[in-house]
Structure 1
Amino acid sequence: MKKLSIKQGMIRSALIGSLVTSMSIAVPIVAMTQTASAKAADNLTAAKRLNKLLTNTKSMSASFSQTTKGASSGQLSSGNGTFSGTMSVQRPNNFRWETKSPSEQLIVANGSSLWIYDKDLEQATKQNVDSQVGNTPALLLSGDPSKIDKNFKITQPYDNKNYYVLYPKSDNASFKSLSISFSGGKPVMMVLNDSLGQTTSIKFSNIKLNPSINASQFKFTPPKGVDIINQ
Structure 2
Amino acid sequence: MKRSITAILIAVSAQWVSADGLKSLENFMRSAHSGRADFTQTVTAPPKDGQAQRPKVSSGSFEFQRPGRFKFVYTKPFAQTIVADGKTLWLYDVDLNQVTERAQAQALGSTPAALLASAPDLAALRADYQLESAPDQDGLQWVLATPKAQGGQLKSVRVGLEGDRLAALDILDSFGQRSLIRFTGMQLNPQLPAGSFQFKPPAGADVLRQ
Fold similarity call, TM over 0.5: yes
Using the alignment, how far apart are the partners of 2:132 and 2:120 within structure 1? 15
- Extract unaligned runs of 5+ from structure 1: 22-27, 29-39
Aligned CA distance change for structure 1 residues 204 and 14 (closer, same or farther; 3 Å): farther
- Structure number with higher relative contact order (C-alpha < 8 Å, ≥ 6 residues apart): 1
Matched positions, count: 202
1:83 aligns with 2:62: no
The C-alpha deviation readout for 1:117-145, integer Å capped at 9, x for no partner, is: 11111110111111121232312432224
Q: Which protein has the bigger strand share? A: 2
Partner letter of residue 199 of structure 1?
R
1:167 aligns with 2:146: yes
Aligned CA distance change for structure 1 residues 207 and 47 (closer, same or farther; 3 Å): closer
Using the alignment, how far apart are the partners of 1:177 and 1:187 within structure 2? 17
Q: Is the 8 A contact 1:46 1:155 kept in 2?
A: no
Q: Is the 8 A contact 2:83 2:197 kept in 1?
A: yes
Tell me the TM-score normalized by structure 1: 0.77
Aligned CA distance change for structure 1 residues 205 and 198 (closer, same or farther; 3 Å): same
Using the alignment, how far apart are the partners of 1:124 and 1:105 within structure 2? 10
- 1:158 CA drift (Å): 4.7
In structure 2, the residue matched to 1:114 is 89
1:132 aligns with 2:132: no
In structure 2, the residue matched to 1:153 is 130
Using the alignment, how far apart are the partners of 2:14 and 2:171 within structure 1? 13
Partner letter of residue 105 of structure 1?
Q
In structure 2, the residue matched to 1:181 is 160
Using the alignment, how far apart are the partners of 1:55 and 1:226 within structure 2? 39
Structure-to-structure mapping, 1:83-102, within 5 angstroms: 83-102=58-77
Aligned to 2:46, the other structure's residue is in SS state: coil
Aligned to 2:11, the other structure's residue is in SS state: coil
Q: Is the 8 A contact 2:27 2:164 kept in 1?
A: no
In structure 1, the residue matched to 2:209 is 230
- 1:148 CA drift (Å): 1.8
Q: Is the 8 A contact 1:47 1:154 kept in 2?
A: no
- 1:49 CA drift (Å): 6.3
In structure 1, the residue matched to 2:176 is 197
- 1:149 CA drift (Å): 1.7
Using the alignment, how far apart are the partners of 1:55 and 1:165 within structure 2? 21
The C-alpha deviation readout for 1:49-94, integer Å capped at 9, x for no partner, is: 64443333221100000001122565435xxx11100000011111
Which range moved further: 149-158 or 48-57? 48-57
Tell me the TM-score normalized by structure 2: 0.84
Q: Is the 8 A contact 1:105 1:117 kept in 2?
A: yes
Using the alignment, how far apart are the partners of 2:101 and 2:45 within structure 1? 29
Using the alignment, how far apart are the partners of 2:61 and 2:71 within structure 1? 8
Using the alignment, how far apart are the partners of 1:183 and 1:199 within structure 2? 21
Aligned to 1:213, the other structure's residue is in SS state: coil
Aligned to 1:60, the other structure's residue is in SS state: strand
In structure 2, the residue matched to 1:32 is none
Q: Is the 8 A contact 1:65 1:85 kept in 2?
A: yes
Aligned CA distance change for structure 1 residues 15 and 97 (closer, same or farther; 3 Å): farther
Q: Is the 8 A contact 1:20 1:180 kept in 2?
A: yes
Using the alignment, how far apart are the partners of 2:6 and 2:194 within structure 1? 21
Q: Is the 8 A contact 2:69 2:84 kept in 1?
A: yes
